[in-house]
Amino acid sequence: MSDDANFWTDADRYLVRYGGTWVPGVIERAAGSYVFDADGRAILDFTSGQMSAILGHSHPDVVATIHHASSTLDHLFSGMLSRPVVDLARRLAETLPDPLEKAMLLSTGAEANEAALKLAKLYTGGYEVVSFSQSWHGMTSGASGATYSHGRRGYGPAMVGNIAIPAPNAYRTRFERDGVHDWRAELDHAWELVDRQSSGALAACLVEPILSSGGIIELPLGYMAALSEKCRERGMLLILDEAQTALGRTGAMYAFERDGVVPDILTLSKTLGAGLPLSAVITSAEIEERCHERDFLFFTTHVSDPLPAAVGLTVLDVLAREDLCERSRVLGDRMRAALLDLREQHECIGDVRGRGLMQGIELVLDRETKEPADALGARVTERCYELGLHMNIVQMPGMGGVFRIAPPLTITEAELDLGLEMMAQALMESLAMV
């Protein structure tokens, strides 16, 4: 039996399957914009790992930081502090508008959202949490309770107090006026329903500026400001989950900058560690002080760990030195032009949406009916991989397959163009099979 055969036999026998199917290749190493399988085949990574590796794989600065940190200061008792932790908290505050200045460093996005929800509940005295109907905030109890895109069936009741409002999907909206998405009417209707369901204990609204797992749904310009006002009217806190959108991904340091709205609490993960487990919760001194007075508790094994904090500092250094926010904006414009051109060529592309190097295309059987093209999406995904391109497709009930395109911010123009060419080839060949 070959080594690969043994590998898959062991995988089938010993691994718990946790969602979807495995990518059909044994990955041996990764470098830059590519991962390499056991046969040495280069596979262009259009998902930045799990939407995280914004500096590409094995970035030399990150490798050097890990080597140094692991040989000097890797892990500490959670009540101990080190310079990388305090330095990263300060550096993050320096990138953010007032009053966001108090940070807590954790490991995963779910953990950061969990901590943010606990802060909001303790601060407001409420327990009810509002989030979008196609949201993804994590798999721990509070974060999972606020997640509606997948994974709610079969586990019994979610945490009490969770309320869903419609995700403002302009492509598939039920709220139109003169053929245009009437997001304000949709938002007003949503909050009328929130008020009817609430027991009077609203604590927070937890949302993503761009719903990634929900199908690259971008909040319309003006929506976030109106949402923030709905929260203020009810004494709630606005929590923005920028796990995937922060640190240059959308062409700005933070996606919320476009809207001129400052959240009460900001959560970061994925991009902050550039592939390593690092997340952050950032809030105001006033919120932190009140929660501290009320004995806020979130004492975990890896809170304030120095090694990932050192990596976070390196990520900020590289972002600034290489001006990756601007690079993401420029390459994002290049990618969008190519995707719009592809849409002109193929009726099966119903919509192109997103910002910077985080964009998506939605596949449909018919542009008029917008009937989902699930089978086509699966074929294109498979063919892309055969050609040497790793793509990720979101398939949800009532939607077409939505490709999430989020390559590293360090990708070259030639690599970006190559990936787009492979995607176009996979699409044409898959359509020929119909």
Q: Would residue 241 show up in a list of annotated catalytic residues for this protein?
A: yes
Residue of 241, 242, 305, 362 marked catalytic:
241
Residue of 111, 208, 264, 305 marked catalytic:
208
Give the largest CA-CA distance in the chain: 66
Q: Would residue 270 show up in a list of annotated catalytic residues for this protein?
A: yes
Q: Estimate to the nearest angstrom the gap between the alpha carbon of 190 and the chain centroid.
A: 24
Residue of 234, 329, 379, 404 marked catalytic:
404
Given a contact cutoff of 8 angstroms between Cβ atoms, the answer to whether 257 and 325 are in contact is no
Q: Would residue 208 show up in a list of annotated catalytic residues for this protein?
A: yes
Question: How far is Cα 351 from Cα 228, in angstroms, rounded to an integer?
Answer: 28
Residue of 136, 230, 305, 383 marked catalytic:
136
Ramachandran quadrant class, 319 (left: phi over 0; alpha: psi -120 to 50; beta: rest)? alpha
Q: Which of 248, 252, 315 is nearest to 278 (CA)?
A: 315
Q: Would residue 382 show up in a list of annotated catalytic residues for this protein?
A: no
Residue identified by tokens 């290489």 is: 322
Report residue 287: phi and psi, to 5°. Answer: -65, -45
Given a contact cutoff of 8 angstroms between Cβ atoms, the answer to whether 57 and 66 are in contact is no
Question: How far is Cα 365 from Cα 371, in angstroms, rounded to an integer?
Answer: 5
Going from the C-alpha of 279 to that of each of 62, 115, 241, 267, 324, the distances in angstroms are 16, 11, 11, 7, 20
Q: Which of 101, 87, 32 is nearest to 308 (CA)?
A: 87
The CA angle 219-277-311, to the nearest 5 degrees, is: 100
Residue identified by tokens 């900058």 is: 257
Residue of 183, 191, 234, 244 marked catalytic:
244
Q: Would residue 353 show up in a list of annotated catalytic residues for this protein?
A: no
Question: How far is Cα 366 from Cα 19, in angstroms, rounded to an integer?
Answer: 29
Residue of 121, 230, 249, 270 marked catalytic:
270
Which residues are tagged catalytic?
136, 208, 241, 244, 270, 404
